[in-house]
Amino acid sequence: MPKSKRSQLVSLTKVDKKTREHKTEMMDKVKENSDKWKYCWLFEVGSMRNAHLKTVRNLWKDSARIFFSRAALMAKALGTTPEEEHRMGIHKLAQQIQGQVGLLFTDTEPQEVIEWFADFSQPDFARAGNVATRTVILPAGPVMRVHSDPPEPFPHNEDPQLRKLGLATTMNRGVPTLTNPHKLCDKGKVLTAEQAQLLKLIGEKMVTFRVGLIARWEAGSGEVIQIDGPRLSAQSDGVEAADEEDEAMSD
């Protein structure tokens, strides 16, 4: 009987070597891009979703490089002290690299960057732990998928899942049906896993993916300019890291 792939042993020395090389390569790319571009922006993400970050990366692929990786590595690459900084003054930006943040290198003028990101947003589904932004009440009658165009009732084979998530449905002509209205969530209250899953099933989106600009470094002067405005960190619903660290870097 052949051995299961799950039981194969992997040499830790090989893993460590690959990890070290990968980290070094990433840091070298950050340094190379700090030498190449006029501006380095530090940004944060509200309601992180990999798919939406990839959209941003694709839209900027011809005029920027984006890094969204481990904060400690990006900070170390730029240098967090005047003695260690890779470029003049950039340590003031590196000192702010903490948590779920990224770097955007570009030659695009600041006002255009600010306006572009202020205008970019993508609605998405809430997760357990998010705060409901509105009260949702499902009316009596067939349970509807509101995201369909036109809205359509759930099929009969999804009734067990709806009941498991807390809906007191009955079958009426093969359609999951509510006898009475059901309050799915209250505005301002933290969503449970069951509530978040129900909101996704019916198509109610309650969070918005946004990119918030924190500060920028300018190569010409070595200055770091802070960007005024509310921080997005309070909107975060947990870390959704890239599947691979390579995925966190634009090509």
Give the pLDDT score at 246.
Answer: 37
Domain shared by 118 and 218, yes or no: yes
Give the pLDDT score at 250.
Answer: 42
Give the pLDDT score at 119.
Answer: 95
The answer to whether residues 61 and 251 touch, using CB atoms and an 8 Å cutoff, is yes
Which residues form the domain of 175? 130-206
How many structural domains comprise the chain?
2
Domain shared by 73 and 146, yes or no: no
Domain shared by 102 and 217, yes or no: yes
Domain shared by 218 and 101, yes or no: yes
Query: 33-36: which pairs have CB atoms within 8 A and are 24 or more residues apart?
Result: 33/65, 33/67, 33/105, 34/77, 34/78, 34/86, 34/87, 34/90, 34/105, 34/219, 35/86, 35/87, 36/105
Could you tell me which residues come within 8 angstroms of residue 12 by beta carbon, excluding any fewer than 6 positions away?
none
The answer to whether residues 33 and 78 touch, using CB atoms and an 8 Å cutoff, is no
Question: Does residue 50 lie in a domain region?
Answer: yes
Domain shared by 62 and 181, yes or no: no
Give the pLDDT score at 47.
Answer: 85
Give the pLDDT score at 248.
Answer: 43
- Give me the CATH number covering residue 148: 3.90.105.20
Report residues of the chain scoring pLDDT below 70. Answer: 1-18, 233-251
Give the pLDDT score at 30.
Answer: 97
Look up residue 249 and give its DSSP letter.
Answer: B
Q: 132 phi and psi, to 5 degrees?
A: -65, 130
Q: 157 phi and psi, to 5 degrees?
A: -75, -5
Burial (CB count within 10 angstroms: exposed 0-12, middle 13-18, buried 19+), residue 185: buried
Domain shared by 74 and 174, yes or no: no
